[in-house]
Structure 1
């Protein structure tokens, strides 16, 4: 049993090393291709940052951090399904 396990582990190690070498080779080729494209000025680089005007007005920090108080949240009339199977859980005293 020990011999079979050693053979298997050795085969896996050889396979892993071959895969690692293959990945390194592919990555090296891709990086060389990318470097050649950059050196040849085949890639255009935008010098201007994207416009922020299309995103809408910025909200102030106070608006972003606003959380309603517990008394502002009204869940009495809402049924909330927390089980995922269609069973509804209601707060005590509601309906």
Structure 2
């Protein structure tokens, strides 16, 4: 434990990320009110991906973790993506 390197993140960075998350949340609510037909869900999902990236990197400190932790998180997201694709394919071909 004593050999671990600690990082100090300034509060200003947390505040900037918080403002970005709030702006993206309001933008994702606003995007649903515009008529984009099939692209509405895709746009909302794009906002959700960016927001999850910010939360994972800054609030969960994944940016400063060891590489194998990042690989494990990437593996979990890959499994999630495969499950979503399988679900949509099942829905498409029914």
Q: How does the TM-score come out when normalised to structure 2?
A: 0.33
**Structure label with greater radius of gyration:** 1
Q: Between Structure 1 and Structure 2, which shows a larger proportion of helix residues?
A: 2
Could you state the TM-score of these two structures normalised by the residue count of structure 1?
0.32
Q: Give the structure, 1 or 2, with the largest relative contact order (CA under 8 Å, sep 6 or more).
A: 2
